[in-house]
Structure 1
Amino acid sequence: MIEQEGLKAGDKLPSERELCERLIVGRSSVREALRALELLGLIETRRGEGTFIRDFEGHQLVQLISTFILQDEKAKANIAETKSLIEMDCLSLVLIKSTDIHLQALKKWVETSSFTDEEFFLKMAQLADNHLLLRLWTILKDYYNSLKIFNVDADKQEYMNVINKLLTRKESEVRKAYKELRKLSND
């Protein structure tokens, strides 16, 4: 409903009665859902005014949810592995969808900018031009960051190596450069 109606932070939600009618559910279900959303800090209820959507940029929602999802070590290891798989898939799509002009612009950005690993792979995910992969990567990155796992920092030359391999248009070379960047086995 929020998405369909284009509601944003500060906008008022319909009343409980209206939500019951529109969603075809009982009042207790609506109250329980609103209470859960309020506990998560996604909405706020103002007595006598109604319920409003909160600005939850920078919200700790990922960390909160991750405490439930990431309770075992296997799930934690899967986050890092899945994030890497998505990053490699993004690089494969960059090979397919990006022009040499895009890649040269990216190379210039790497040469002239100071950037983080996240910023580099955000650019890759954006160049991959696949909205779902971008969203998945963003969520996994947030979960990964909530685990406080710190990679060995790569230097600018390792990122440049990935770009140079993208310019060769050889996927096997790009994958090899990515694995070197991430300190993964090349098996």
Structure 2
Amino acid sequence: MTTAQSKVYIEILRHIRAYIAEKQLSYGDKIPSEREFAEKLKVGRSSVREALRALELLGMIETRRGEGTFLKDFREHNLIELLGTFILEDSKAVVDIIQMNSLLEYNALQLVLQNNPEAELKLIAEKLSKNTVTRYECMREIIQLSNNHLLFRIWMVLNDYVTFVCKSDQVKVYSNEKLEMLVNALLNKEQEKVFAAYEEVSLKEYVE
């Protein structure tokens, strides 16, 4: 691929990404056809075809014969596992993943303390008192309460790798008692107790 072709290819990918963001499309939604993108961008259909093919190979879109092209949930396929295999070749990368996950969670907890979403925290506490809840499920609900959409999205993507790296059941399930301590500390706005409770359910054993 020449430099000029590469620039066109990258520009097409950027346009597709911008279109998805502008239209607020989600998994399962239909995107314009190869012809429509070519006409809109005033580029050759072959260039658009290559860009769409790359996205399809990555599992980000899927083409259904007679229906069109649709966004696909990338977590449905093995891309995370494939990339995770390469990441595991570098022990420093594994440490970086866990540390970044902890940084995101730590900052989310600080935001939750500021936002003070009492009603939502009470619902999480009630759920913990009645059912077995995994660490991931509990942290997902807490991080959503940070009211920072970008932080939440990054954490969600990163946790696909965290799950792949941390095979132990300890990463998936902690005692509800420990998770309840964390939620109750958030409810009472006790910052020191929040982060002491977080240490009890953190993933630090994977970086020691």
Give the TM interval when normalised to the shorter protein. Answer: 0.7 to 0.9
What residue ranges of structure 2 are gaps of 5+ in the alignment? 1-18
Following superposition, the deviation at residue 51 of structure 1 comes to 4.1
The equivalent of 2:6 in structure 1 is: none
Question: Which stretch has the larger CA shift, 169-178 or 144-153?
Answer: 144-153
> Which residue of 162, 166, 171 maps to 2:182?
162
> Which residue of 135, 143, 151 maps to 1:133?
151
CA gap of 1:56–1:166, structure 2 versus 1, over 3 A, is: closer
Q: Secondary structure at the match of 1:179?
A: helix
> Which residue of 22, 33, 39 maps to 2:51?
33
Q: Number of matched residues?
A: 182
Once residues 71 and 25 of structure 1 are traced to their aligned partners in structure 2, the CA distance between those partners, rounded to angstroms, is 40
Aligned-pair identity (%): 34
**TM-score of the superposed pair, with normalisation by structure 1:** 0.80
What residue ranges of structure 1 are gaps of 5+ in the alignment? none
RMSD over aligned Cα atoms = 2.8
The equivalent of 2:135 in structure 1 is: 117
Once residues 115 and 56 of structure 1 are traced to their aligned partners in structure 2, the CA distance between those partners, rounded to angstroms, is 24
For 1:1-56, what per-residue CA distance to the aligned partner results, in whole angstroms no more than 9, with x for missing partners? Answer: 2343455626353234x32332354444322212112223322263xx47411543
**TM-score of the superposed pair, with normalisation by structure 2:** 0.73
Relative to its length, the structure with more helix (as a share) is 2
The question of whether the paired residues in 2 share the 8 Å contact of 1:20 and 1:26 is answered with yes
The equivalent of 2:33 in structure 1 is: 14
The question of whether the paired residues in 2 share the 8 Å contact of 1:15 and 1:50 is answered with no
CA gap of 1:171–1:23, structure 2 versus 1, over 3 A, is: farther
